[in-house]
Amino acid sequence: MVEKVMSEFPTYYHLLADLHIRRSPNTYLEIGVHEGHSLGLVGATTQVVGIDPEPKITSQLGDNITVVTSTSDDYFASESGQAPFGDAPIEMAFIDGMHHVEFALRDFINIEARSATTSTVLVHDCVPIDEETAKRERSTVIWSGDIWKLIPFLRTHRPDLEITVHDVEPTGLAEITNLDPTNTTLADRYDELVDELIATPWAGR
Ligand SMILES: C[S@@+](CC[C@H](N)C(=O)[O-])C[C@H]1O[C@@H](n2cnc3c(N)ncnc32)[C@H](O)[C@@H]1O
């Protein structure tokens, strides 16, 4: 079971909107933009990069927003992905791309390395609805995949991180702070740890 807190906000969109208003980050990176609904919640003064191999943006985005058509792995390996905002760190990020946990882990590793200690990383889909929608293989219309495994894994292997999982509809949002861009624990042990991560048994919502 994922340790989580009740939220005053009904959905992750409401919570995201509140975080953008309260934190007003100078820079924001989003992985998995789809139609641009979560991107549409950013403030006008925030510099934004959104990454998605198949973006399907449905409305006009502000001049402060750049959408890059790429997988997150390819983006971070590219020259622009080395420093998405030049000398400035990523102040806030939202991981909502591929719904397999090892992708979210790599996204977290890459984002933390480009962040400041005061930055915030948000992760969607950390409170699954039920076992069927939380499997690696997709068999349902609503599918959060096995992203939920990331939270107990980080609590074990990176106890220095501060993690709050908000129980918002439909599948929760984790807020990770106290980052350490110099910490290479996860990257150094990635091959060894990823098998353990994927094998995490279902323990309920
Ligand atoms: C659930 S949607 C994102 C929804 C959006 N964040 C929102 O809340 O409005 C997931 C998106 O992740 C994208 N995606 C899939 N694999 C990806 C990858 N390897 N890197 C980045 N994005 C990926 C998909 O194309 C899809 O548009």
Number of Cα atoms under 13 Å in the Cβ half of residue 153:
26
Total of domains in the chain: 1
Please identify, by atom number, the ligand 1 atom nearest to the C-alpha of residue 30: 6
For the Cβ of 32 lying below 6 angstroms from any atom of ligand 1, the answer is yes
Query: Is 0.95 topped by the overall pTM?
Result: yes
Identify the domain containing residue 103 by its residue range. 5-198
Query: Looking at residue 93, what DSSP letter applies?
Result: E
For the Cβ of 96 lying below 6 angstroms from any atom of ligand 1, the answer is yes
Q: Which residues of the chain have pLDDT under 50?
A: none
43 found inside a domain: yes
Q: What is the pLDDT of residue 2?
A: 80
For the Cβ of 142 lying below 6 angstroms from any atom of ligand 1, the answer is no
User: Per-residue pLDDT tens for 33-71?
Assistant: 999 999 999 999 999 999 999 999 988 999 999 999 999
Q: 11, 52, 94: which to mutate for ligand 1, most atoms within 8 A of CB?
A: 52
Q: What is the pLDDT of residue 204?
A: 78
205 found inside a domain: no
Q: Which CATH number covers residue 33? A: 3.40.50.150
For the Cβ of 127 lying below 6 angstroms from any atom of ligand 1, the answer is no
203 found inside a domain: no
Tokens 């992750």 -> residue: 12
Q: What is the pLDDT of residue 203?
A: 84
- 17 backbone φψ class: left, alpha, beta (φ>0; ψ -120 to 50): alpha
What b/e string do you get for 10-28 counting C-beta neighbours within 10 Å, with b at 16 or more? eebbebbbebbeebebebb
Q: What is the pLDDT of residue 196?
A: 93
103 found inside a domain: yes
